[in-house]
Structure 1
Amino acid sequence: MSRFAGLGFDPAPGDADAIEGAARRCSEAAAKLDLALAARIEVPREWAGEAALTAAGRAAAERTALEPAPAVFRATAGILTSWAGIVVAGARRADQLDRRAVALRRALVEATDAVEVAETAVQFATGTAAAAQADLAAAKARRDEVRRELDRVLEQARALEAAHRAEASRVEHELKALGEPGATLGEAPDGSAGLADVTDGMTRFSELSKELAASLARAPGPAVTPPSGAVGAFAAAVSLSGR
């Protein structure tokens, strides 16, 4: 029997383990960048002149471009960690609803069979026709009650699916917002930083972002090609996992 046989669909898809793994990698990347940025950049004393000044200037510019990168990674890790928790909670609720739906579908089959038996009894009833009619009415009432309860469970599952999609959209927008100029990062040392400020630096980590996107893409759904840029790749991956 396939999963969610009672509901007929997965109302809260997503791979929490993959999402948590992506968040962990973001945190690790931030820590490594902190160490790299803590290292001093020095030009050898033996090297002087225009070339030395140019090299020193470029090194300083690269360092400045990378300074907001740890905050970008930490912000991304925080968003992904929160999303993983939502996926876990949604999966737990989906399992509960599916178990209830499976039981109700089984009960509906039994109730429908009982109605058929009662209808047959009415057809062949003689002196007990009134009793047979009462049994038939009771059997139909039971069948209808079970059917209404199943409909309520399916309605709850659809509501869960809608809420899950809404949360996935919110997370996607939060990740995309990290790439907006002037976007605020709650964990940034100075309180704000935008991806536009660190475009050159984050390009160095595009391969990592694609790897994270691929790990999140284990969730059911069509394959996608992550857009360029770290935050864009994260957003594409999370959007996919929420389908």
Structure 2
Amino acid sequence: MGDYRGLGFDPVPGDPGAIAAASERCRHLVEVPAPPAGWEGAAADAFAARLAGLRDDLETARRTLGTAADVLDEWAGTVLSNQRRAEELDRRARALRSAIEDADNDVVLASFRGGPDHVAASARLDGLRRELDGVLAAARDLETDHRSAARRVADRLRHLLTGGTDAAGHVPSRDELFGGVVSALSSYSALGSDLAGLLFTAPRTSGTASGGAAAFVSALGDR
């Protein structure tokens, strides 16, 4: 969780560096081995044909995961931009809280004098509190926008990695999508959980994904 003591909450959870690292994992290439040298005959021909099909599956998977990596790179930039905005709001909130504390003391002192001094001190305190309320409202709006964007990213990734739905509303499984390449891409089942966590949790925080993230994990196959 970011250190947003002025705001009192983290409006923009996420770790841009970890998201970028997940993007790199999506770009990892799986190599298909060549048939053993000197192997001939019907079995060798069948094996070579199977490898050719596997290469096609891998190319499809590579393109899909490459697009997912692009989505993650974009999301990492969004998280970074939103965190900079949150830091700016937090600096303003800290300064205002300090000013409010001073203004509150001024009101107490002015109360002994009464008259215009007390009225002016009270008005200044009220103005500072309204300004802080505005900053906190902006931070809450930022949180809402950030989480909405995260859900949209999760939906985009889910759509990419499930290939959409057919006319009957059936969501194809990974086996249906990638066929013989599933075993070669088994490491990406863990990646699905990682990506969902990156979208919806604070840095270095573990937890159960929910909402669009949970759907994305389920679609990818968290096994």
Indicate the TM-score class for this superposition, using the shorter chain for normalisation.
0.7 to 0.9
What's 2:40 paired with? 47
Cα 1:137–1:210 shift into 2, 3 Å: same
* 1:157 positional shift: 0.3
Whole-angstrom distance in 1 between the partners of 2:194 and 2:162:
23
TM-score w.r.t. the length of structure 1 is 0.72
Query: 1:174 pairs with 131, 156, 172, which one?
Result: 156
Do structure 1's residue 163 and structure 2's residue 145 form an aligned pair? Answer: yes
Match for residue 118 of structure 1 among 110, 113, 122: 110
Tell me if the contact between 1:62 and 1:201 (Cα under 8 Å) persists in the aligned partners.
yes
CA contact (8 A) 2:64 2:161 kept: no
Shift of 1:198: 1.5
Structure 1 spans left out of the alignment, 5+ residues: 123-132, 184-193, 234-243
What is aligned with 1:79?
71
**Higher alpha-carbon Rg:** 1
Identity in percent = 36
TM-score by length of 2: 0.78
Paired AA for residue 172 in structure 1: A
Query: What count of residue pairs does the alignment treat as equivalent?
Result: 203
RMSD over aligned CA atoms reads 2.9
Corresponding residue for residue 80 of structure 2: 88
Offset, 1:42: 5.1
CA offsets per residue over residues 101-136 of structure 1, 9 Å max, x none?
0000011111111111111223xxxxxxxxxx1111
Deviations 1:122-160 (A, max 9, x none): 3xxxxxxxxxx1111101100000000000000000000
**2: CA distance, partners of 1:182 / 1:143:** 56
CA contact (8 A) 2:58 2:181 kept: yes
CA contact (8 A) 2:35 2:47 kept: no
Native 8 Å contact 1:66 1:202 kept in 2: no
Structure 2 letter corresponding to 1:115:
V
- Unpaired runs of 5+ residues, structure 2, are 166-172
Equivalent in the alignment of 1:109: 101
Instruction: State the Cα deviation string for residues 193-235 of structure 1 (Å, max 9, x = none).
Output: x964325414422324525744847725442488477x456xx
SS in structure 2 of the partner of residue 178 of structure 1: helix
